[in-house]
Structure formats: structure tokens, C-alpha cells
Chains A and B, each alone.
Chain A
Amino acid sequence: MKQPFGSAVLEAAARLLAPFVLLFAAYVVSHGHSSPGGGFQGGVLFAAGLLLVKLTRGDPSQWEIGPRAALVLACSGVLLFAGIGLLPLAWGGSYLDYDAPPLFADPVAERVLGTVGIEVGVALAVAGIILLVFDALAGWGEPERSA
């Protein structure tokens, strides 16, 4: 699958769709605390938007996230989640007790911030893993075994 199977029609459709899919992914992640959605769903949507570009443009597309970047994305997502959990320990709270750090006067606002933060972490992890598995299945990004 080294060659993109793009055509003018696919290219135009993907150009039209991809920004909206990515925007909708951002909406689903950030709005997860007041409507159905959240990190898992938003991460899958984010990965779907990028896979659309990968499928229509093939390997050397311009804003592709390669396997290495996807691995970094997945790791940073899990680390962001765990890091947000560790933060309250510095102020004497429990693990993942978002309102322990004295950021705002309103503890509920801090809990919302913590919730959105871990949702972003989940979304990054899910998106990174989906991109990685897709790359591995498609066989892209395998180094040339010359030596």
C-alpha cells in the first residue's frame, strides 16, 4: 500500500471532510462533560480524520502523523493522565483528587479542569494507538531493510 489510491474526487472529498472530522473530534473531547462523548470517542474520531488523509493521499502526505509521532502521542496521552493524577499529591490531596491544587477558589471548576485534562490524555492515547496499529497493518513506515 505504498501508492496512494487518490483521485481528484477522493482528494476533493477528503479535503472537504477532514477538517470537519478533526473539529468534531475536538468538540467531542472538550464537550464530554456536558454531552455524550469524551476522550475515547473523541480520540477515535481524531484518528479517523487523520486516517482519511492517510488513505487518500498515501504515505508522503504533508500533515501525516508517522508511526514515531503516533507512538509519542500515545505515550504522552497516558503520561498526561497519570501526571494530572500525580499533581494533587503535591498539595496533600489524594491521587486524581483534582480540587487539591489551589488554582481556583471554586473546587468544582478545578474538577471540571481536571476532567477535561484527563479526557484529552485519553483521546491522545487512543488516537496514537489507532494510528500505530493502522500503520503496522498497512505496512507503511517499515524501514528499508537494505543492510
Chain B
Amino acid sequence: MKATAFALTLVAAAVFIHASSALPAFGTADAPASAHVSPRYIERGYEETGAHNLVTAVLADYRGYDTLGETTVIFTAGLAALLIIGAGAAWSWEGRPR
């Protein structure tokens, strides 16, 4: 079983490494990832969102829904970490001093 899993992992790794050689070079201007919505963001980001910082324009405006999910992830991860640390048992809402 372990040997099968190891062999499958090797096969998957080989497939991924082989496929990655067909990717466009890093930073290619006409790569599909930079040719779809990026030009619109770069050309019209400031006049559409009023944000000089294009990172903020994308993060908070064009992709605001993504950032909402990101914030929720941080919130949920923090609460889960609290429960794992064990704060949940010793930490009742009524027992809080402040």
C-alpha cells in the first residue's frame, strides 16, 4: 500500500514537472494570466476606483468578495487555533472578568 502510494506520488510529480515546462516564462507580457483582466486593471484602475495603489484597487474593489473570504478565513482560523490551544474549555462567556 505504501509502495503504491509512493509510486503514485512519483508519477504525479513527474506529470506536474513535465507540464510545468510548457508554462510561459515568468513575467511574460502576453501570458494568458496577464492578458485577460490585468490590462484593464492597470489602464483604468485609478479612474475607476480612485486608488493610487493598484494592489488595493484589486484587493479591496475589483476582488472585494475575495478579500471578504480572506478575512473570514483569518477569523475562522484564529477561532480554530483558540479551540486547539484549549481556550474553549476554560473560557466560558459568563466567566470573563472583563
Partner of A74, one of B47, B78, B87: B78
Chain B interface main SS type:
helix
How many residues of chain B have a CB within 8 Å of chain A?
37
Whether A115 contacts B71 by the Cβ 8 Å rule is no
Please give the distance in Å from B67's CB to the nearest CB on chain A.
Answer: 7
- Tell whether A96 is near chain B: CB-to-CB under 8 Å: yes
Whether B53 contacts A35 by the Cβ 8 Å rule is yes
- Tell whether A66 is near chain B: CB-to-CB under 8 Å: yes
Please give the distance in Å from A76's CB to the nearest CB on chain B.
Answer: 11
Please give the distance in Å from B50's CB to the nearest CB on chain A.
Answer: 4
Please give the distance in Å from A135's CB to the nearest CB on chain B.
Answer: 8
Proximity string of chain A (114-142) to chain B, C-beta cutoff 8 Å, 1 when within and 0 when not: 11001101100110011011001100011
Partner of B50, one of A75, A108, A133: A108
- Tell whether B55 is near chain A: CB-to-CB under 8 Å: yes
Whether A119 contacts B95 by the Cβ 8 Å rule is no
| Docked CA distance A69–B93 (Å) | 11
- Tell whether A143 is near chain B: CB-to-CB under 8 Å: yes
Whether A111 contacts B52 by the Cβ 8 Å rule is no
Whether A112 contacts B49 by the Cβ 8 Å rule is yes
Docked complex: A91-110 residues within 8 A CB-CB of B: 95-96, 98, 108-109
The residues of A with any CB-CB pair to B shorter than 8 Å are: 32-39, 66-69, 74-75, 77-78, 81-82, 85, 95-96, 98, 108-109, 111-112, 114-115, 118-119, 121-122, 125-126, 129-130, 132-133, 136-137, 141-143, 145
A sample of 25 inter-chain contacts (CB < 8 A) reads A33-B49, A33-B52, A36-B55, A37-B53, A38-B56, A39-B71, A74-B78, A75-B75, A77-B71, A81-B68, A81-B71, A95-B65, A98-B61, A109-B50, A112-B50, A115-B49, A115-B57, A115-B60, A119-B60, A129-B77, A132-B82, A136-B87, A137-B85, A141-B97, A143-B97
The residues of B with any CB-CB pair to A shorter than 8 Å are: 47-53, 55-57, 59-61, 64-65, 67-68, 71-72, 74-75, 77-79, 81-82, 85-87, 90-93, 95-98
